[in-house]
Amino acid sequence: MTKDSKIVQRHLDLFPTPVTQYNLSYLDTDKILEILKKFEVGPHGILDGSDSSYGKDFSILDDKELKFLKDEIDKCLNEYIERVQLQNIIITGSWYNNMSLGSRLHPHRHEGSVLSGAFYLKANDNTVPLVLKSPLLPYKMNDLYKATDNQYSSSGIGIQPIKGFLVIFPSWIEHQTNPEQGERCLISFNTFYK
């Protein structure tokens, strides 16, 4: 190696997973909560101790009173798909969950969907994060890290729910919550290609 030789470094952060939070806090969440009262709720298999409209024969974002919300969510979906260059998608199903102290969301992913989302109508300082698990964990069985708080070593990331915020993520990401320490009410949805 000569004096003029340099070691060239090029770091490639490969295979990013886009997860985006959108601030829709300008929407009247109290009005939306009032509209939701008309929908039938019941237990849901992956939720402990909560009410859900999941599994009913109606996608709540198709309700004419919630058209203003669906239009805003569609704008966010269009921004997301344009940024990552996905084909056009539409919302194929939507429901809401009401979770209180002690309830939890078991680990799952959304089969048959491209992108999923959660729009938070209620959340407080004690609301537990939505935990998105790293899809790389099964392939990193021999990696031993000095610290687990960076993008290379983390087993997942917690996204703190904020009232009026929408989170959009790929449906294949396994996600869950720990037992609720506060309360949350959210509208969730799935999508597919047009």
Tell me what pLDDT residue 15 has: 85
The reply to whether 2 falls in a domain is no
> Which tens digit of pLDDT belongs to each residue from 114-140?
999 999 999 999 999 999 999 988 888
183 within 8 A of 121, measured Cβ to Cβ: no
* Residue position matching structure tokens 């969510």: 73
CA dist., res. 1 & res. 39, Å (int)? 73
> Which tens digit of pLDDT belongs to each residue from 43-52?
888 888 888 9
Residue 126 backbone class (left: φ over 0; alpha: ψ -120 to 50; beta: rest)? alpha
Domain count for the chain: 1
The reply to whether 111 falls in a domain is yes
Give every residue of the chain whose pLDDT is below 50, as ranges: none
The reply to whether 5 falls in a domain is no
In this prediction the pTM is 0.91
Tell me what pLDDT residue 138 has: 86
CA dist., res. 76 & res. 162, Å (int)? 16
Residue 79 belongs to domain with CATH number: 2.60.120.620
Using alpha carbons only, give the angle 73, 79, 83 rounded to the nearest 5 degrees.
145
Tell me what pLDDT residue 24 has: 98
Tell me what pLDDT residue 166 has: 98
The reply to whether 7 falls in a domain is no
In terms of residue numbers, what domain contains 186? 20-193
The reply to whether 51 falls in a domain is yes
Give the amino acid at 145: Y
Tell me what pLDDT residue 4 has: 64
Per-residue tokens: 130: 């939505």
SS3 79: helix
